[in-house]
Amino acid sequence: MSKNSKINMEKLVNHCKNMGIIFPGSEIYGGLANSWDYGPIGCELKLNVKNAWWKKFVWESENSQGIDSAILMNPKVWEASGHLASFTDPLMDCKECKTRHRADKLIEEFTKNQVNADKMSNKEMETFILTNNIPCPKCGKCNFTPIRQFNLMFETNRGVTKESANTIYLRPETAQGEFVNFINVQRSLRLKVPFGIGQIGKAFRNEITPGNFTFRTIEFEQMEHQWFCKKGTDEKYYDFYKQYSMEFLTSLGLPKEKLRFKDHDKLAHYAKNACDVQYEFMMGWDEINGIHNRTDFDLSRHQQFSGKNLEYLDQVTGEKYIPYIIEASYGLDRIILALLDNAFEIEILEDGSEREVLHFKPSIAPIKVAVLPLIKKLHGDVAKKIYNELKSKFRAIYDDTGSIGKRYRREDAIGTPFCITIDDETINQNTVTIRDRDSMKQEKVKVDDIFNYLNNKFQG
Ligand code: ATP
């Protein structure tokens, strides 16, 4: 058996569509740029990653709690956070073909990431593009308008009239919901600093750069954890959450050698320290997670703009202060893309045939076990009974259509780690055959031992 090296993004996109993992958004209407829908298999995968994150960051992270705040917030939140004034991308229009591009991305793609445009001013980016004759990716000409800053927030209107007083925004990050609830969470649960707040939810950004599949989309899910701590302890916790992030990502099955830290060259005005965790995608290294020391900027600004006191009172020392925040921010869709990128293989088997397989770690695999009667007429009833017993314990499916070989292949292609085959021996000797996705080896297991057998594999 050997690996096929011909895997590329197009193959992965097609595979995801054919296997019910991810579909192009609004496809029957010609799609909507940078939007994707998760199918039956993809949404199970997402759920498993969300559950693993929640467990790690809310249940297991010391003194942490979860919330679920509203997507639509009082517009003053975005004034205080700085998003209204400065959550912008540097955009240029191609005067020839009228397409719009991000200046920083044009430079980074042209130089294959050898030049970091993050550090450049708009004037420097314009000059760099002109002197290097960087072409428009669509028409190949180098004839752009000057850079304009374009706000990434989606606007909508509350109420019936479209007056600017009614303008509200779809949140571009989930973090602000955690900041504005700092006092509510602290007081209602009588928490002592340091403590954490985590949440998972949708965020929206008016991204115009074409994404690499789900890497950059206009609607995506974030999993964000904010750690509220006292100034002076912040750098210790910043280092802690860097390591904790790495632990989390490798626990999902992403290999350590395909992950790395990348310090930010240009810090945001509020940040004392910031880095990304990058994954080596098939299109190159890029960010899947950011860790930021946000200082006391967020709570100070919300205190200033809301007029509400957001200081924490230390009951023991009597000291009052605004806590510092260490943020660990994850893009769920980018993690899913990294998991698919890492797991997808087209193997050439000894007989020359191809096997498409997703080698997910069993604990995050969308479907844990498939129950397959060898011959429906003879083994279907027993198989259904076994499936009915398993389905409340693991995400299981029952499939009796097509040859057993084709059914195995279908399960391999969606990453199901175990297939249970029901045959005459099940009826006569009360045993089943359990096939392992990766080795394709089969083992005989007693019907009464199936649960323990699988449970051990998932714990491992
Ligand atoms: P980028 O530089 O790639 O635009 P960012 O630095 O703006 O990302 P953050 O604001 O730090 O990203 O958001 C935290 C996480 O949210 C990112 O690490 C990423 O995983 C995810 N994310 C951000 N923007 C998008 C998007 N448009 N589509 C999918 N995921 C995103």
Q: Residues 6 or more apart from 421 whose CB is under 8 A from it?
A: 372, 373, 374, 404, 432, 433, 434, 435, 442
Q: Answer whether 329 contacts ligand 1 (Cβ < 6 A).
A: yes
Distance CA 314, CA 316 (A): 6
Residue from 280, 309, 271, 312 nearest 175 by CA: 271
Tokens of 405: 């070989």
How far is ligand 1, taken at its centre, from the CA of residue 105, in Å? 14
pLDDT for residue 281 = 96
How far is ligand 1, taken at its centre, from the CA of residue 153, in Å? 13
pLDDT for residue 5 = 58
Which of 287, 293, 330, 341 has most ligand 1 atoms within 8 Å of CB, for mutation?
Answer: 287
pLDDT for residue 233 = 97
Q: Which whole number is the average pLDDT over 232-249?
A: 97
For residue 114, name the pLDDT band (cuts at 50, 70, 90).
confident
Q: Answer whether 289 contacts ligand 1 (Cβ < 6 A).
A: yes
Query: pLDDT for 317-327, tens place per residue?
Result: 999 999 999 99
Residue 396 reports pLDDT greater than 60: yes
Q: Answer whether 201 contacts ligand 1 (Cβ < 6 A).
A: no
Alpha-carbon radius of gyration of the chain: 25
Residue 163 reports pLDDT greater than 90: no
Query: pLDDT for 245-267, tens place per residue?
Result: 999 999 999 999 999 999 988 78
> Which ligand 1 atom sits nearest the alpha carbon of residue 335?
20
Query: pLDDT for 124-161, tens place per residue?
Result: 999 999 999 999 988 999 999 999 999 999 999 987 76
Question: What domains sit in the chain, N to C, each tagged with a CATH number?
Answer: 2-85+153-342 (3.30.930.10), 88-151 (3.30.40.230), 367-459 (3.40.50.800)
Q: Phi and psi for 73 in degrees, rounded to 5?
A: -125, 165
> Which ligand 1 atom sits nearest the alpha carbon of residue 207?
27
Query: pLDDT for 410-433, tens place per residue?
Result: 999 999 999 999 999 999 999 999
pLDDT for residue 162 = 64
Evaluate whether 287 touches 275 at the Cβ level (below 8 Å).
no
User: Looking up tokens 């374009």, which residue turns up?
Assistant: 150
CA 66 remoteness from chain centre: 18
Evaluate whether 414 touches 21 at the Cβ level (below 8 Å).
yes
Distance CA 138, CA 123 (A): 23
For residue 375, name the pLDDT band (cuts at 50, 70, 90).
very high
Query: pLDDT for 275-296, tens place per residue?
Result: 999 999 999 999 999 999 999 9
Tokens of 272: 């004392």
Q: Answer whether 334 contacts ligand 1 (Cβ < 6 A).
A: yes
pLDDT for residue 405 = 94
Query: pLDDT for 22-43, tens place per residue?
Result: 999 999 999 998 999 999 999 9
Residue nearest to atom 25 of ligand 1 (CA): 216
Of 115-124, 387-396, 406-415, the one with minimum mean pLDDT is 115-124
- Tell me what the pLDDT averaged over the chain comes to: 94
Query: What is the reported pTM?
Result: 0.92
For residue 351, name the pLDDT band (cuts at 50, 70, 90).
confident
pLDDT for residue 435 = 97
Q: Answer whether 288 contacts ligand 1 (Cβ < 6 A).
A: yes
Q: Which whole number is the average pLDDT over 79-84?
A: 95
Q: Which whole number is the average pLDDT over 214-232?
A: 97
Residue 74 reports pLDDT greater than 80: yes
pLDDT for residue 428 = 95
Q: Are strands 167-169 and 148-151 parallel, antiparallel or unpaired?
A: unpaired
pLDDT for residue 164 = 67
Of 123-127, 164-168, 394-398, the one with minimum mean pLDDT is 164-168
Residue 313 reports pLDDT greater than 80: yes
pLDDT for residue 287 = 95
Residue 2 reports pLDDT greater than 60: no
Evaluate whether 372 touches 420 at the Cβ level (below 8 Å).
yes
Tokens of 214: 């789900």
pLDDT for residue 116 = 84
Distance CA 391, CA 75 (A): 45
SS (H, E, C) the chain: CEEECCCCHHHHHHHHHHCCCEEECCHHHCCCCCCEEECHHHHHHHHHHHHHHHHHHHHCCCCEEECCCCCECCCHHHHHHCHHHHCEEEEEEECCCCCEEEHHHHHHHHCCCCCCHHHCCHHHHHHHHHHCCCCCCCCCCCCECCCEEEECCCEEECCCCCCHHHEEEECCCCHHHHHHCHHHHHHHCCCCCCEEEEEEEEEECCCCCCCCCCCCCCEEEEEEEEEEECCCCHHHHHHHHHHHHHHHHHHCCCCHHHEEEEECCCCCCCCCEEEEEEEEECCEEEEEEEEEECCCHHHHHHHHHHCCCCCEECCCCCCEECCEEEEEEEEHHHHHHHHHHHHEEEEECCCCCEEEEECCCHHHCCCCEEEEECCHHHHHHHHHHHHHHHCCCCCEEECCCCCHHHHHHHHHHHCCCEEEEECHHHHHHCEEEEEECCCCCEEEEEHHHHHHHHHHHHHC
pLDDT for residue 314 = 95
